[in-house]
Each structure stands twice: as C-alpha cells, then as structure tokens.
Chain A
Amino acid sequence: MAQEDPHSAGSEPTGSESTGVSRRTFIKGVIAGGVAVSSAAYLFRNSPLLTGGSARAGTVERLVGLTVNGQTRRVDVAPHETLAQTLRYKLGLTGTKLGCDRAECGACTVLVGDVPRYACSVLTHSVRTERITTIEGLAAPDGTLHPVQQGVVEEQGFQCAYCMSGFVMSAVGFLRKNPNPTREQLAHGVSGNLCRCQDYDKILTALERGAELSREVARG
C-alpha cells in the first residue's frame, strides 16, 4: 500500500512533477482509497491487528459479522481491539471520537442495543452479537436528521463539538428510556460526557429541544 511508505511517491529523485504524482494527487488517492484503510495502516502499522497475528486454539474467531447502524458488515477484529478502534479504523465510522481512551470523557459513546456505552472501553468481541448504533446511524436514509440532532442544529448547542457525537448518543439512549425528562434528569442522563468548552448550559438546552422534537415525532 502506498500509504505505508509515503516517501516512495513524493520523494522520487526526479521530483514529483516528472513522475506525474504530485503530493496533491497522492493525498487525493489516499482519500479515495478509503479513510478506514489509511488510518488503520497508520495506527496499527506494527501491530498484529493488521499483520494478522495468528489465532491460537480456543480463541475467538477473528472474522465477525458486526451489525452497525442496521447493516451487518464482515470485519476482521483482533482479540484486543476496542469497539472504538473497529468503528473508526476498520469501518471508517469516524463520527465516534476518541478523547481520553479511558472511559473518563464520553466522546466515544455509542449505543450497544439501546444502551449508551464507552466504545473505547469495550472489546469489540464482547459485543459482537449486539446491535450497535453510532452517530452516523441516527439520520434517516433520506437525510432527515434525528430529532436530537435537529435540536442541536436549532439551538447551536456546541462550540467546538468534538464531544457532540458522544453527547448526542448518550441523550438518544437516555431518551429511549426516559422520553419526558426534566432538565435536571436529562443532565443526569448525560452526566457521563464531558465538554472541555464548558458549554453545558447550551448543550442541555439543545438536548432538551431534541427531547421535545423526539416527543413530537413519536406523537406523529
């Protein structure tokens, strides 16, 4: 793969002009080639995750059918891989963010079944039989946003928004069990998510709007 040795394309002795591969076209090629593959190659370049460390007897079957956002996708999952890594680097679902990688910030929150969990702190194999929903799976196929997403848009809830997908997934999971929460209950529901911009007041207003829109959708 070109991206494993980027210098071979960009630093030909004759210069990129003469080879016809400019830095720009090279980068375009990498992007077209798939974000998933390129980031996986970067992240796991010396790891048995990609080099196919051999599975010993009694261990889990690496090739699994993972149901993500309603679609079952075949994916090669290493035994020590976290769900966040599988989603981001194998399936290209980079809407799930990694903040702390230690279950201490909530940026990686996804739904496992209907339940918000930290994707950074669960082994993919532990949840391989579950339905997984990420931020990419919330909007309808025609592009209509999920009511909670719509609430975020309407109220401009976030500043830098790195924590947004985690907050939205937590709120969606919480609202499925508690469709009519007070502001305080909603705050408790998303208390497993941090915002470094300290935008909590706006975030709660946006999520409250999301809850309201969700109830309107449910009423039809």
Chain B
Amino acid sequence: MTTRHKLMPMLGGGALVVFFLAVFFLVVPTLANAGDGSGLQYSVAADIVGKLGLKESPVTDSTRDRIIPREVELMFYGAIDHRFDGMVSSAAHFEGGAVFFELHEAYIKTSKLIPRSRIKLGSYFLGIGRLNRFHRHDWPFISAPKSHENFLDAEGVQDTGLEYAWLLPIPFYLEWTLGFTSGFTFGHTHEAGSRPRMPTHYTRLGTYTDLSDESGIELGFNYLGRKATNGERLRLFGLDSTAKFMSGKTLRWLLQGELWLRHLRSSTNLLQKDLGSYIYSQYGFNKNWFLGIRFDAFNELTRTSALTGQREKNITYGIVPTATYASSEFSKFRLAYNYYEERELSETKFTDHRIELQSTFILGAHPAHDF
C-alpha cells in the first residue's frame, strides 16, 4: 500500500520543484552534517516533461500541451546496521492538474543473511520485467510503451510486501525472484483499495550471457497473478530482454524489449486476453549522443463485436523515435516524436501525433546502476 497526499493542488509544478529543493537543501544537509557517521546518502531526481499534441486526440491526458515536472523524487538510502540497508523515497507527481505527494518506496533489504540471496521487505516496485525494475527517470525513453501502460501502469506496479531473490549455485547467472505483496490495489492509484481474494504474487527467472568482453544479453521470464475483491483474476506472463554493446566509454547499442500476455478473467468467468510488446533499439554515437527508435504493439485478442459477437481484429501500434543528449550520467535531455495508431477491422480508428521533451537531472548521490 502506498501513502499518498494531495499536496497543494492549487500550486503549479514550479512550486513543487521549489518545495522539494527547499526540503533538500534545508533539511538534508542538517542530517548529513550531523557528523553521526551513519553513512546516510540522499538525492533528488527530477523528471521534467513537455508534451505537444500535433493534432486533436481522443486520448485524455492532462499533461498534454504543457511542460510539467512529471515527478520529483527525494531519496534517502544507506546502511541501517551491519546486516541491513534501507531506502526511503518520496515522490511528487503531477496528475490531472494537481500535485500529489506520495511515499514512493520504503523498504529494508539485506544480501548478507542467506548466502546467494537478497531479501526486500516494504514498499517497492515489483522485481518483474525490465521497466518495472527501474525508476522512470532511468528509462532510456520518455513515456511508457502502450503495453507497459496497459499492463503495469504508466510508471510501474508498486506495492508493499516481501521479495526474495536467489542466485542459483550453477556456473552461469540464473536468478530466481519470488514476491508477495498485499494486492489491495494494482498499479497507480490514489485509492486505499480493498482486501484481495488472492494477494499479488509474482516471480521472475532471469538469466544472462556475455556476448563479448563488452557486451551481453539478459533474459527474464515473468509471471504475476492476483485475484481482486470482486473476483476478477489477473494473470500476466512476460518475457523481457536487454542487450548492451559497449565500446569504451560509449553504450554503442542498446536493444531492449518486453512481451506480455494478460489473462483477465471476470467474476462472471469471461476471459479477456491481451498481448502487448515493445522493442527499443538505440545507437550511441559517443557517450553523450544517442538516437533510438521504439516500436509498440498492443492487441486485444478476445475483442468481439457487440453486434455480431464475432471476433474483431484490432491492433494499436506506435513508433517513437527518440534522441538523447546525456551531458553526464546525472543529466539527460530527450526529444521524441510519438506516433500511435489504433486499427480496428483493418481500418484506422484514430491516430495520435505528439512531440515530447524531457529533462532529467539528479542532485546528490545516486546508487550504482543495474545492467
């Protein structure tokens, strides 16, 4: 469960930034300079996004045609004692014209209790898929692919529970992750939710192989399940893959993709099946400039016509070229063109064209990155 508070909705995004920076610069140095030797580290990550629609769109999006601080995250982390580490992050989101302040993550973790194991307890982003395991300001593109947005929400699925990861004692990398969370809610919501009939449970089997001295590919096989209070049962099956090809200081190629299949069985036993995926390919000219393109696809496999009861062919696809300038690992600027088209019965239902801009920056420390 996450704790969320509407924060000064009458104030705009500028006030949000000022608020966070005030907290950061006034409160945090006091803690850090206390000289208590606790090793507390802290940072602020800001994600400023501008969206410009190039034509009328039926998609409701309060962030369209404006520049907003989409998210400002304040993060504290460090060792709790000789066995445990901790992380607490709070974030302010701009949603529907208002700013919401919420607890993003708060967990205690250890990798020192059981050999080859990591345990995490608290509120966190679930360790499944690719994008869901990373904070949005660390993604290689601006907005979530359609499949991620529909299955795991625009930012990702976060909940409170326990996650255990075990590195199998074999000669190559194979990590098995298993987690259980309360499941009162699923995805981004400001509601308290209600007790599910079956809590959210998930697993990921991740493996990796080196392709050369400076390149490698990671594969993940995922499953997530939950049965809501009303009896609706969700099952997600996913495959994620990330390949990186470094050349000295430069990430020369990044290839990343996810494929998800969702089974949603209603309380009346109607089964809805959806399939969605994206693939992103990015070329690095040097350590500062990158150009990538993402292809998204989403298909309601069981969509039927209300009139005939026949299955209706449909697909929503997107093409998102993205240019990135990384001044350093702590500040990035992106420009992307988003083209989306929804097709039904071989005809275009609607198209959406928009340009997106993004600036992300990090003040203070930042934990080391995953692969």
**Are A and B associated in one complex?**
no
Which A residues form the contact surface with B (CB < 8 A)? none
Binding site for A on B (CB under 8 A): none
